[in-house]
Amino acid sequence: MTRRLVPLLVVAMLALLLVNAPSHLLARVVGKQHIIANGYAGTLWHGSADSVFVNAGHGYLQLGRVDWQLKPWSLLLLKPRLSVSSTWGQQRLSADVTLLGSGVTHFDQLDAKLPAALINDFTPFAVAGSVSAIFDHLYLEQGVPVAAEGTVVWQQAAWLSPAGVRTLGHYVLEVQQAASEVLTGTVLSLAGPLRATGNLHFDGSSYGVDVILSSDVGFEEQLQQSLALFAQPVESGYRIALTGKL
């Protein structure tokens, strides 16, 4: 009888260890090169961290407090799947994340709100406002989208001009990308003095943008000078027509 109990006790102890695996082991599951986290609490399966930075390619993005649930069966399939939510001030994010290895990440039911200022490193003039993104799915390979369906809304868009903050409006970008096809987006204005309509596309290496800017109140001189860096004057206002490779 005793000999029979030994294997059962070993299995029970291993199960207990797994159930109570510490939350800091998440860094090994996700990959230490992808996140920096402090203030771990809970377990590997249902835990949190008070301060999390995630590698966003060009730098680390502060997510603040992050709570997660890791699906145990996903580790058996070598495809870790987590339900993640984070908050940091007015910034928030929630999604089901699947890590497939080799830089392949799937986001499902992604709902995020981030400051528009995050894109200031890539624009010829500083902007403000908040950007909300709601995606049924967003699949990335090496940080490049390979399938997507969702909407991005830039709310309370503003230009930080040398003379002060200038209100631009509210804009929406509808994104579609079937698996292994070109990503396409449609730009529309919701409200505001500066209207924007047009489209964009991205095939993984090459991009194209064709957007018309117009305004019933005209373009102030400083904004015209900034737009002249990358836009062409047209009858209705300005046209942003850009193509290139990343």
pLDDT digits (tens, 9 = 90+) for 156-189: 999 888 878 888 999 999 999 998 899 999 999 9
* DSSP per residue, 71-125: -HHHHHTT--EEEEEEEETTEEEEEEEEEEETTEEEEEEEEEEEEGGGGGGGSSS
CA distances 131 to 25, 46, 71, 101, 207, Å, are 32, 29, 30, 29, 21
Query: For residue 225, what are the contacts with CB-CB under 8 A and spacing of at least 6?
Result: none
Distance CA(86)–CA(88), nearest Å, equals 7
pTM, to two decimals? 0.86
Instruction: Say if residue 124's pLDDT is above 80.
Output: no
Residue 154: Cβ-neighbour burial (10 angstroms; 0-12, 13-18, 19+) = buried
Asked if 87 and 105 touch (Cβ cutoff 8 Å), the reply is no
pLDDT at 4 over 80: no
- 3-state SS class at 33: coil
Give the pLDDT confidence score for residue 9 in this predicted structure.
35
- Asked whether the beta carbons of 80 and 74 are under 8 A apart, the reply is yes
- Closest by CA to 113, choosing from 153, 80, 73, 144, is 153
* Side chain identity at residue 155, one-letter code: Q
What's residue 204's pLDDT?
84
Task: Flag the least confident range among 72-81, 187-196, 198-207, 208-217.
Answer: 72-81
190 phi/psi in degrees, rounded to 5: -100, -40
For 205-245, the pLDDT digits (tens) are 899 999 999 998 888 888 888 888 889 999 989 999 999 88
Residue at 21: amino acid letter: A
Provide the token pair at 50: 């008070």
